[in-house]
């Protein structure tokens, strides 16, 4: 196995990803950042220098489990102190499993400033073996599609709005980007002179194909808010991978993808080669107010936009259409890793929107999450137990009689930075229960992401989860392993994982604004097995023996 070394300088620069100039967080001057490409078993070493001048930084390697290196997870407040302006931190970790992953900033709402990219881990083929011996499908070439939503407002403007009384919601994105490019209609630009339709930075991306060949499209979504539907005009896609795991192949016209998810789909370039086709990304699950994000599938090699209208995707509010895709995503028959038959512990988490001192928040079982000033990993390892709330957060909620279709009867909640301590090696079930928001007749999709693990997706439902009834319907035969999963409007999602990765791990809604408003929890497991922590992750709170 090799060591792949990268040196990254993170700085703000003026960029025009959708033709509108915006201060963007870049890596070596680029947004999206460079693609990390490694082979299974390699060590990836990224030396990150924070040149943001006045802003802290942390970078999370989303989907990489960090076995033996929990301090390299890149989650500010959980696994490390932030990298201060002018400072450097080297992340080093092993990419132990092939698949499609991503990285992104994990400090405040920094991700939405443009700091993200794709991680591709390819199969380590035995010497002399053909690549497709190692994977349950074959293709001639591959393309990467990084999907995102984009606001012209600064990250600070968005974050301050969320924290204000009354809350100023971020609103729908101005543009949808594909590989960091979109096209805003310059005649609608808020500030005259900031939109340049001929900037090469907003050229529509082109994906070249050769007639007759099969392509693997690796698709990743780093959206701050939007659930997306991705379609390639005139071409069916066969879904073969989700979050780094092979799935039982299924064919779709378009694919729903939530923030934090990755998929691989195969497409065959078997359509009329005398024209080009649209790639389209559309908002689903929220009433769209953002134009379709587009790119061009080019048979001829030219960048001519097709004369057709880009696909507009399924009806945005067709929950069952998206629910069916979730249910259809199961493990590939040759790659089933059966889950343990039962759990040692079940945590039932009611997701609600709440009010705390007139602030709008999100809470789990009535507790809205806040990050401590001293990262848990350091605090737990050193026994600095006065640095966060020692009361464990609630395991369940009063589900009997709770009407998930009505706004919460009591919208109050509390805040806490307490965490869930898991017995090392135990099997944990988490059931995420969605509900109505503060306003009537509203429930959103929440993509939940677990750090440090993959989990088995045991089941989905719409309505209230009943612990006495629904576990009987769990899929224990061929559930897919994922690291991010959707909880559909008014629905529930049940997942299972083994607490066997020593460290402290965030579990949160991947909608940046929701995590910012408290929609997350943290697990600790096997802290005494964590090797001694590198001093580079220290420097804040009580990590240096100082005072808070
Ligand atoms: Cu991709 Cu904690 O996030
Ligand atoms: Cu959410």
Q: pLDDT tens digits for 276-317?
A: 999 999 999 999 999 999 999 999 889 999 999 999 999 999
| Ligand 2 centroid, distance to 438 Cα (angstroms) | 14
| Ranges of residues in the chain whose predicted pLDDT is under 70 | 126-133, 545-548
Pocket flag, ligand 1, residue 218 (CB < 6 Å): no
| Ligand 1 centroid, distance to 243 Cα (angstroms) | 13
The CA–CA distances, whole Å, from 24 to 11, 110, 232, 301, 453 equal 8, 10, 29, 30, 31
Pocket flag, ligand 1, residue 350 (CB < 6 Å): no
Pocket flag, ligand 1, residue 502 (CB < 6 Å): no
150 Cα distance to chain centroid: 15
Pocket flag, ligand 1, residue 62 (CB < 6 Å): yes
Strand partners, 231: 254, 280
Pocket flag, ligand 1, residue 404 (CB < 6 Å): no
DSSP 387-436: SS--SPPPS----TT--TTS--SS-B-EEE---EEE-TT-EEEEEEE---
Pocket flag, ligand 1, residue 506 (CB < 6 Å): yes
Pocket flag, ligand 1, residue 449 (CB < 6 Å): yes
Pocket flag, ligand 1, residue 60 (CB < 6 Å): yes
- The helix (run of H) or strand (run of E) holding residue 177 is strand 175-178
In this prediction, residue 192 carries a pLDDT of: 80
| Ligand 2 centroid, distance to 511 Cα (angstroms) | 5
Domain boundaries, the chain: 3-328, 336-537
| Ligand 2 centroid, distance to 520 Cα (angstroms) | 9
Q: Give the ligand with the smallest distance to the CA of 351.
A: 2
Pocket flag, ligand 1, residue 418 (CB < 6 Å): no
| Ligand 1 centroid, distance to 488 Cα (angstroms) | 19
Q: Give the ligand with the smallest distance to the CA of 352.
A: 2
Nearest CA owner, ligand 1 atom 1 = 62
Pocket flag, ligand 1, residue 104 (CB < 6 Å): yes
Pairing of β 22-27 and β 43-50: unpaired
- Residue-wise pLDDT tens digits, 58-79: 999 999 999 999 999 999 999 9
Q: Give the ligand with the smallest distance to the CA of 515.
A: 2
358 Cα distance to chain centroid: 29
In this prediction, residue 548 carries a pLDDT of: 40
Length of the chain: 548
Pocket flag, ligand 1, residue 220 (CB < 6 Å): no
110 Ramachandran zone, left/alpha/beta (phi>0; psi -120 to 50): alpha
Pocket flag, ligand 1, residue 260 (CB < 6 Å): yes
Pocket flag, ligand 1, residue 111 (CB < 6 Å): no
Q: Return the ligand 1 atom nearest residue 104 CA.
A: 1
3-328: which CATH architecture? Sandwich (2.60)
Strand partners, 368: 415
| Ligand 2 centroid, distance to 510 Cα (angstroms) | 6
Pocket flag, ligand 1, residue 97 (CB < 6 Å): no
Is CATH 2.60.40.420 the right assignment for the domain spanning 336-537?
A: yes
Q: Return the ligand 1 atom nearest residue 75 CA.
A: 2
Pocket flag, ligand 1, residue 222 (CB < 6 Å): no
Pair of tokens at residue 370? 């806040």
- Exposed (0-12), middle (13-18) or buried (19+): which is 118, by Cβ within 10 Å? buried
- Residue-wise pLDDT tens digits, 363-388: 999 999 999 999 999 999 999 999 99
Shared fold status for 3-328 and 336-537: yes
Q: Give the ligand with the smallest distance to the CA of 222.
A: 1
| Ligand 2 centroid, distance to 548 Cα (angstroms) | 31
Q: Give the ligand with the smallest distance to the CA of 63.
A: 1
- Residue-wise pLDDT tens digits, 187-224: 987 788 899 999 999 999 999 999 999 999 999 999 99
Q: Return the ligand 1 atom nearest residue 520 CA.
A: 2
| Ligand 2 centroid, distance to 158 Cα (angstroms) | 16
Other CB atoms closer than 10 Å to residue 342's CB: what's the count? 11
Average pLDDT, the chain: 96
| Ligand 1 centroid, distance to 452 Cα (angstroms) | 10
Rg (CA), the chain: 22
Q: Give the ligand with the smallest distance to the CA of 64.
A: 1
| Ligand 2 centroid, distance to 448 Cα (angstroms) | 7
């Amino acid at each position: 196995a090799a060591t792949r070394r990268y040196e990254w300088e993170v700085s703000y620069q003026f960029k025009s990803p959708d033709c509108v100039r915006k201060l963007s967080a870049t890596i070596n001057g680029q947004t999206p950042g460079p693609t990390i490409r490694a082979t299974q078993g390699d060590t990836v070493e990224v030396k990150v220098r924070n040149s943001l001048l006045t802003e802290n930084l942390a970078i999370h390697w989303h989907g990489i489990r960090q076995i033996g290196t929990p301090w390299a997870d890149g989650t500010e407040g959980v696994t490390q102190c932030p990298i201060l302006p002018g400072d450097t931190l080297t992340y080093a970790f092993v990419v132990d499993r092939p698949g499609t992953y991503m990285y992104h900033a994990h400090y405040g709402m920094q991700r939405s400033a443009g700091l993200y990219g794709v991680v591709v881990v390819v199969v380590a083929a035995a010497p002399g073996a053909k690549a497709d011996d190692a994977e349950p499908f074959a293709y001639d070439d591959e393309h990467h599609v990084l999907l995102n939503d984009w606001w012209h407002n600064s990250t600070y403007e968005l974050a301050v709005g969320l924290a204000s009384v009354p809350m100023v919601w971020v609103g729908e994105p101005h543009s949808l980007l594909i590989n960091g490019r979109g096209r805003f209609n310059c005649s609608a630009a808020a500030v005259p002179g900031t939109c340049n339709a001929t900037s090469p930075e907003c050229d529509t991306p082109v994906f070249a194909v050769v007639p007759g060949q099969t392509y693997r499209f690796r698709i990743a979504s780093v959206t701050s808010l939007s659930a997306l539907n991705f379609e390639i005009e005139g071409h069916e896609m066969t879904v073969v991978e989700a979050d780094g795991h092979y799935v039982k192949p299924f064919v779709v016209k378009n694919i729903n993808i939530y923030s934090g998810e990755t998929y691989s789909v195969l497409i065959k370039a078997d359509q009329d080669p005398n024209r080009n086709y649209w790639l389209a990304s559309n908002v689903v699950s929220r009433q769209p107010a953002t134009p379709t994000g587009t790119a061009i599938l080019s048979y001829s090699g030219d960048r001519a936009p097709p004369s057709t209208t880009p696909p507009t995707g399924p009806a945005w509010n067709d929950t069952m259409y998206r629910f069916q895709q979730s249910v259809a995503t199961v493990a590939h028959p040759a790659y089933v890793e059966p889950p343990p038959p039962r759990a040692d512990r079940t945590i039932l988490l009611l997701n609600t929107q709440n009010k705390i001192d007139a602030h709008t928040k999100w809470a789990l079982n009535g507790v809205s999450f806040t990050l401590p000033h001293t990262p848990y990993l350091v605090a737990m390892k050193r026994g600095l137990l006065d640095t966060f709330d020692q009361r464990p957060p609630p395991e369940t909620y009063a589900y009997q009689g709770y009407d998930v279709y009505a706004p919460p009867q009591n919208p109050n909640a509390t805040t806490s930075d307490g965490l869930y301590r898991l017995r090392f090696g135990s099997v944990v079930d988490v059931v995420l229960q969605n509900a109505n928001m503060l306003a009537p007749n509203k429930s959103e999709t929440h993509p939940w992401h677990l750090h440090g693990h993959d989990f088995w997706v045991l089941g989905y439902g719409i309505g209230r989860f009943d612990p006495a009834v629904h576990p009987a319907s769990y899929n224990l035969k061929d559930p897919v392993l994922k690291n991010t999963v959707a909880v559909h409007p008014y629905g529930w999602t049940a997942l299972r994982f083994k607490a066997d990765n020593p460290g402290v791990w965030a579990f949160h809604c991947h909608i940046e604004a929701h995590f910012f408003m408290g929609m997350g929890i943290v697990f600790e497991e096997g802290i005494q097995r964590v090797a001694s922590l590198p001093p580079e992750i220290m420097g804040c709170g009580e990590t240096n023996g100082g005072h808070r």
